[in-house]
Structure 1
């Protein structure tokens, strides 16, 4: 059985969604971040060396970190669900591209927006950091919108993949939902379709608590 260490309203939504979508048995261990549980020496030793959330303990006891890696791993464990193109499928390349784009381009921009203190050089820098983050976020989403310009409902075509679930998570994080929908209507439609899926909506409901 897999064990997911998670907290609400965080990047742990993506691996929890994949666990629900694949139907793999798992235990969800809610980490008390408000109490700093994830910063304890025990957590850093046994779960995540950097004291971050999420983390995924595999059935053999190995602990995996990085949400995008978890998404790729879990989707590949359940090929019958059709969430990941096979290695020889031409769609495998854009699938990996969008997953890594989410992790390397979108995710860090949101971290800068919501945690500017992680990036400030001196006191008083927070607003400047957030302004740069907003620009980066808007630019990054514009590229995703262009990726859907041919009318496809999902990143790879007519069917949702784990890449859509991962990108769809970050589409929930935009600070101005109305402006986001106006600027990126195709991504907004993708987001709505992703979270209307029964398994995905179950994970989302858990994270809203």
Structure 2
């Protein structure tokens, strides 16, 4: 039996899909572009009452939501893929720290940005100011993370992890890669390395191409 993931190209499902691709799992994607309206969000309701992506259905029928939780679960459930430090690994604490920092500090900003009227109503000027401020907040968070992490070949050392996949996707969102490179120079080279992984080239092209912002 295969996995089912509710997701969309360019979304928070992409690092999950990338991890499953690297592990070699059989999965299908139900496209649900939730930022495009109620009908798209309703597609996800059967799996996640929050109507948010990603939502993963395991072959056993279990539902897992929240991108960080899914990524950590995949790394732990498939240790042979070596996509995350084990419980007794000294890198585990920092792995958990940054895997939760991204959704708490960065990913959460996009619930606001996708539909600004949720917080500021229909005032166009207020919506633009909200978008500007959240973009600055995201840039600040990348700067803080860069100042606190000491990458090797990858973010946690010499081995690729789901953290690298998570950052590779989230850093493609607003304020986009060029700003990320400026704010997070130590992580920048790592992300270029993740972008260039041969085993993910076809995947990135299909699910989240970088375009001119690389």
Q: TM-score range by the shorter chain?
A: 0.7 to 0.9
Specify whether residues 10 and 176 from structure 1 end up closer, same or farther in structure 2 by C-alpha distance, changes over 3 A only.
Answer: closer
1:101-151: CA deviation from partner (whole Å, max 9, x where unpaired): 111111112443444233325624212212321221121011121134x46
Cα deviation code 1:49-96 (max 9, x no counterpart): 122222110111122111111111111121111111111111111011
State the TM-score, normalized to the length of structure 2.
0.84
Q: Could you list the runs of 4 or more consecutive aligned residues of structure 1 that deviate by over 6 angstroms after TM superposition?
A: none
Q: How well do the aligned residues superpose, as a CA RMSD in angstroms?
A: 2.3
Count of aligned pairs = 206
Mapped to 2, the partners of 1:121 and 1:37 lie a distance apart of 21
Match of residue 80 from structure 1: 80
Q: Distance in 2 between matches of 1:115 and 1:27?
A: 28
Unaligned runs of 5+ in 1: none
TM-score normalised by length of structure 1: 0.86
Q: Name the CA shift for 1:162/1:205 in 2 (closer, same or farther; >3 Å).
A: same
- Structure 1 pair 101–151 and aligned structure 2 pair: CA distance change class (3 A): closer
Q: Measure the CA separation in 1 of the matches of 2:189 and 2:131.
A: 26
Cα deviations by residue, 1:3-32 (Å, 9 ceiling, x for unpaired): 111211211101101110111221222236
Aligned counterpart, 1:203: 203
**Does residue 13 of structure 2 align to residue 28 of structure 1?**
no
Determine helix, strand or coil for the equivalent of 1:119.
helix
Decide whether aligned partners of structure 1 residues 170 and 43 sit closer, same or farther in structure 2, where only a CA change above 3 A counts. Answer: closer
1: CA distance, partners of 2:27 / 2:154 = 27
In the alignment, does 2:56 pair up with 1:69? no
Of 126-135 and 90-99, more deviation after overlay is shown by 126-135
Query: Please, which runs of 5 or more residues in structure 2 have no aligned partner?
Result: 210-214
Q: Distance in 2 between matches of 1:23 and 1:90?
A: 27
